[in-house]
Amino acid sequence: MRQVHVALGSRSYDILVSRWLLPELGSHCRRLGFGRRCALLTDSRVGPLHGRVALRSLRQAGFDPVLVSVPAGERAKSIRHLADCYDQLAVHRLERKSFLVALGGGVVGDLAGFVAASYLRGIPFVQVPTTLVAQVDSSVGGKTGVNLAAGKNLVGAFWQPRLVLCDLETLKTLPDREYRSGLAEVIKYGIICDPTLFRRIEQRMPAILQMDSLELAWVVARCCTIKAEIVSQDETESGLRAILNFGHTVGHALEAITRYGRYLHGEAIAIGQMIAARISQQLLGLPPADVERMERLFKSANLPVTIQFSKDQLQRLCAAMKLDKKVAGGQIQFVLAERLGRVRFGQSVPWSLLITILNAPSGLRDAPRCRRVAPTCLR
Ligand X SMILES: NC(=O)c1ccc[n+]([C@@H]2O[C@H](COP(=O)([O-])OP(=O)(O)OC[C@H]3O[C@@H](n4cnc5c(N)ncnc54)[C@H](O)[C@@H]3O)[C@@H](O)[C@H]2O)c1
Q: Would you tell me which residues interact with ligand X (CB under 6 A)?
A: 43, 45-46, 49, 72-74, 77, 104-108, 110, 130-131, 133-134, 137-138, 141, 143, 152-153, 170-171, 173-174, 178, 265
Judge whether 237 counts as a catalytic residue. Answer: yes
Give the number of other CB atoms < 10 A from CB of residue 75: 13
For ligand X, which is the closer residue by CB, 46 or 367?
46
Q: Helix or strand or coil: residue 74?
A: helix
In whole angstroms, what is the distance from residue 267 CA to residue 335 CA? 18
CB of 25 to ligand X, least distance (A): 15
Judge whether 299 counts as a catalytic residue. Answer: no
CB of 372 to ligand X, least distance (A): 34
CB of 42 to ligand X, least distance (A): 9
Half-sphere exposure (CA, 13 Å, Cβ side) for 323?
Answer: 15
Among candidate residues 28, 162, 180, 241, the one labeled active-site is 241
Half-sphere exposure (CA, 13 Å, Cβ side) for 309?
Answer: 25
Judge whether 267 counts as a catalytic residue. Answer: no
CB of 131 to ligand X, least distance (A): 3
Is 249:276 a contact under the CB 8 Å cutoff? yes
For ligand X, which is the closer residue by CB, 26 or 266?
266
Judge whether 241 counts as a catalytic residue. Answer: yes
Smallest CA-to-CA distance from 28 within 66, 67, 57 is with 57
Among candidate residues 77, 81, 162, 252, the one labeled active-site is 252
For ligand X, which is the closer residue by CB, 171 or 192?
171
For ligand X, which is the closer residue by CB, 98 or 160?
160
Judge whether 302 counts as a catalytic residue. Answer: no
Smallest CA-to-CA distance from 75 within 100, 53, 45 is with 45
Torsion of CA 304, 310, 311, 316, to 10 degrees: -60
Among candidate residues 28, 180, 248, 326, the one labeled active-site is 248
CB of 207 to ligand X, least distance (A): 20
For ligand X, which is the closer residue by CB, 44 or 203?
44
Among candidate residues 74, 169, 202, 237, the one labeled active-site is 237
Among candidate residues 180, 245, 267, 326, the one labeled active-site is 245
For ligand X, which is the closer residue by CB, 90 or 154?
154
Is 173:49 a contact under the CB 8 Å cutoff? yes
In whole angstroms, what is the distance from residue 224 CA to residue 227 CA? 5
Judge whether 121 counts as a catalytic residue. Answer: yes
CB of 28 to ligand X, least distance (A): 19
Judge whether 227 counts as a catalytic residue. Answer: yes
Among candidate residues 77, 180, 188, 227, the one labeled active-site is 227
Judge whether 316 counts as a catalytic residue. Answer: no
Judge whether 50 counts as a catalytic residue. Answer: no
Phi, psi of 349 (to 5 degrees): -120, 125
Q: What is the DSSP string of 13-62?
A: EEEEEESS-GGGHHHHHHTTT--SEEEEEEETTHIIIIIHHHHHHHHHTT
In whole angstroms, what is the distance from residue 40 CA to residue 25 CA? 11
Judge whether 338 counts as a catalytic residue. Answer: no
Which residues are identified as catalytic? Answer: 121, 143, 185, 227, 237, 241, 245, 248, 252, 265
